[in-house]
Structure formats: C-alpha cells, structure tokens
Amino acid sequence: MKLKYLFLALVFAVSASSFSAFADDNDEELKRKINEAVMGVYDKHLTQDPSNYEVRFARANQYYFNGEYENALADVSRCISETPEKESDLLFDELMLRAKLYDELNQLNNENADLSYLRDYIRRIVNRVIADGLPKGFCLNVNFPKIDPAKEQFAGVRVCRMGFGSWINEVVKCRHPRGYDYYWMVGEYRDDEPDATDNDRWALAHKYVAMTPTRVDVTDYESMEKMKEWFK
C-alpha cells in the first residue's frame, strides 16, 4: 500500500511539474489530458479497493489542486472516518486538508453571499416573536438549510427538538520532529440517531427551516428531586 501511495504521489508531482514545464496558460488541452490520466489512476485503484484511504487521500489532494473543493471534501471526510487512529500523521494531514477546504469554501461562499432569499422567513419569525414575546431565559434556535434559491425552495418551517450526537476523533496524537508527543484538538460530529425524523438534523436534511425552542437553564428538575432522596 505504501508503495502504491508513493507511486501515486510521484504521478501527482510529475503532473504538477508538467504543468509548469510544458504547458503555458493557453495549453488547456494538455493540462486536461494530464489531469485525466492522474485521476484515472486514482479512480482505478479505488474501484478495485474502495477502502484504500491512502489512495483516496491522494485523490482528495488532486481534487484540491484542481480547485474541485466539494469533491475533495467528500474524499477527505471519508478518509478521516476510515483512517486508523494509529496512522496519526496521515490523519493529521487529512484534518489539515479538510480545514483548508472549509476555509476555501467559506471564502467562496462569503464573497458571493446573498441571503435575501431568507428575508420572508426571518420577517415572519421575528414578527411572531415581537407579537407573542419570549419567556425569560428562553432562546429560539433557528437554522436554515443550504439550498440553491435559483433552483429550489424551503420545504417550510419545522418546529423540532435538537438532535443527539457526539464528537469523535477529538484529539490526535502527533509526534514532533524534536522527539516529543503533542496533541492536536480536532473533531468530527457523529449523528447518534440517524433514523430519527423529529429533530433538527432531519429537518435541515429535508430542506426545512428548523426552529427549536431552548432554555438557558439546563437543570433537570425531575432528576434533581429524585437525587435529593439520596442523602436523606
């Protein structure tokens, strides 16, 4: 597997140098052919062995090099979920690439942000809150799903509970070149109830505006009364 990864990395390096050495800005056809050849190698290996996270990570890097950030993010996210914890250096590289991709995608989204399509929903929610008021210590959590307003619309508003999940891969142990260990704080959300249809994650996945009433006071009063009996 390591030899394959090195071979693929070499192909990637050759393709990168070929772009600068043999292809000028006008030679898009040559660039396209080189990229197709490189991606063809990755696709072939992943067809034969879809669980090869090293090759998938190499393809994610190629997607990143090509500016195909969504494809790169899909590949590297799968890598992070499949790479063994003992491969801490590789996992660290994968997490760093994902961070770069989030940054690139956020910059693209921020530069072209147009939230005017949220206006009607925000106005309706705000007017209702102004009319009815909110109790003390109350917080209204509203999330909007990602849509393309030119092609689709929100499915409506869904008043729902928060979903339950947990964070995995929260800490990655890495080895510093100077010979000591250090720990990198990371994290990946895992949905602990993927079949639930009454929470905010389901609502957002189905293009609903998710509205969840919450309280600042998270005390469980029922349990508190029961626990008072412990020390009588």
Q: Decide if 63 contacts 88 (C-beta within 8 A).
A: no
Residues 98 and 139 in one domain: no
Q: Is residue 8 part of a domain?
A: yes
Q: Is residue 213 part of a domain?
A: yes
Q: Is residue 6 part of a domain?
A: yes
Residues 31 and 76 in one domain: yes
How many structural domains does the chain have?
2
Q: Is residue 232 part of a domain?
A: no
Residue 192, domain extent: 116-219
**Phi/psi of residue 175, nearest 5 degrees:** -110, 120
Select from 75, 93, 111 the last residue of a domain.
111
Ordered per-residue pLDDT tens for the chain, 232 residues: 444 444 444 455 444 444 444 445 557 778 888 888 888 889 998 999 999 999 999 999 999 988 898 899 899 989 988 888 788 888 888 888 888 888 787 766 665 667 889 999 999 999 999 999 988 899 999 999 989 888 999 999 999 999 998 877 677 777 776 788 877 766 777 899 999 999 999 999 999 999 999 999 989 999 999 999 998 7
Residues 37 and 128 in one domain: no
Give the pTM.
0.53
Q: Rounded to an integer, what is the distance from CA 46 to the centroid of its chain?
A: 21
Give the span between the Cα atoms of 54 and 95, in whole angstroms.
14
Q: Helix, strand, coil shares of the chain as percentages rounded to 5?
A: 55, 15, 30
Residues 143 and 122 in one domain: yes
